[in-house]
Amino acid sequence: MQVVVVGAGSWGTAFARLLADRGHDTALACRDPEHARAIAETGRNPRYLPKTSLRDVAASTIEEAPIRDAELVVVAVPSRAFGEVVRALPGKAPILGLTKGLDPATGDRLSTLVEQRPVAVLSGPNFAEEVAAGLPAAAVIASEDEELAVRLQNELTSMSFRVYVNPDLTGVELCAAAKNVIALAAGGVDGLRLGDNAKAALITRGLVEMARLGEACGARQETFAGLAGMGDLMVTCWSRHGRNRRAGELIAQGMSPADAAAEIGQVVEGLSTAPVLHDLSQRLGIELPITEGVCRILSGLSLGELVSSLMGRRPTGE
């Protein structure tokens, strides 16, 4: 296929490498002309994954990329920019979204912002550093267009990257957004050194919270026990690569959310997703106590007070 990856962050860079390894004619489109020029001249991304070779990947600005002629456009930009980017894309090629979040302005799932063209999303426990290095990984592709999902599955699956098809687009997108918020809380457990028991309990209850949200939105419960749910949640909450986990850890150690994001130097989606999810839960009339707690932390509550409030909740059945 002729594919353009829009967004030259870590995940966009790793995915461009994956596509090229599968034999696809791959272009990487950057917002910043200087960034695009550096990749084109050096064959590497100096800002993200600089050890990953991109010599067989064309690099340009978004405006100059061959998007109109592409057979597939992969979008790997922050959630806050997703809607603006997809609305400006020329042509009618299908969109494959890699962004894990919700639209901060409306609370909508990102796939709903794609108009008049087929759309699919890819999600799962896929840290860019490991995918770029060719380490084994698995993911799911979800779409309301089953033919598109199966075609992409066949085009992306390799000996190092195994792709499953999941028809539950709603569930996969909600998992991708909600797990980042739980990871912020898991990082807080690490920062306060509360132990593995506390972290395992929080992650488990976080999965319950995610599934409760999915049920209220009409998603399939099986999705939350799969790669997009439990799989992505585990790796995001435990891995040293996890930006959201690291941000939660830094906040627990005394940094402000803004300073934690600056220290990490990349987008921390959970920081913007948490209030959006909380607003959604209010509209749906469901309880998301961990998400609510994260929002309170971001508004200035101490983590010690949050731990006390969560542990002091009324006893109930599992």
Share of the chain above pLDDT 90, in %: 92
Reading phi first (left if > 0) and then psi (alpha if -120 to 50, else beta), residue 145 is in beta
Alpha-carbon distance 188 to 306, whole Å? 10
Tell me what the mean pLDDT of segment 225-236 comes to.
97
pLDDT value at 271 more than 80: yes
Look up residue 126 and give its two tokens: 């896929």
Q: Which position among 51, 92, 100, 179 bears the catalytic label?
A: 179
Which residues touch 171 (CB under 8 Å, ≥6 apart)? 142, 214, 219, 220, 223, 224, 228, 229
8 Å CB contact between 228 and 123: yes
pLDDT value at 318 more than 80: no
Confidence of residue 314 (pLDDT cuts 50, 70, 90): confident
Q: Where are the beta strands (DSSP E) in 47-178?
A: 58-61, 72-75, 95-97, 119-123, 137-143, 161-166
Alpha-carbon distance 96 to 148, whole Å? 10
Task: Report angle CA 230, 112, 149 to the nearest 5 degrees.
Answer: 60
CA atoms within 13 A on the CB side of 235: 19
Alpha-carbon distance 257 to 134, whole Å? 33
Q: What is the mean pLDDT of the chain?
A: 94
Tell me what the mean pLDDT of segment 6-31 comes to.
97
pLDDT value at 119 more than 80: yes
| 179 has catalytic annotation | yes
Share of the chain above pLDDT 70, in %: 99
